[in-house]
Amino acid sequence: MNSIYFELLKNELYVLEKTDHPNVVRVFEILETNNKFFVVMEILFEVELMGKVAKIKNFSEDHAAMIFEQILLALNYLTAKM
């Protein structure tokens, strides 16, 4: 793995390990070897947003606004953490 990408991945994992937000996946522990990461994180079911949206039969503008707000809250939290 390119060393730049390895460092970016490492930084992202360590930021996630320090986060505690309901809309951001939790990382509990990171184990690192010379060229591998082992990540202990929460189990997520149906994590793909598009898949969940596709299952909704009557997708209203209010529902879209609620999902978008949750995304923005998570992004705001993460940018404040960095």
pLDDT attached to residue 28: 93
How far apart CA 82 and CA 63 sit, in angstroms, is: 29
Contact 27, 17 (CB under 8 A): yes
Give the tens place of pLDDT for each residue, 9-56: 888 888 888 899 988 888 999 998 887 889 999 988 766 777 777 788
Closest by alpha carbon to 43, among 27, 65, 67?
A: 27
What domains appear along the chain, each with residue ranges and CATH number? 3-81 (3.30.200)
Amino acid (1-letter code) at residue 37: F
Q: What is the pTM of this model?
A: 0.68
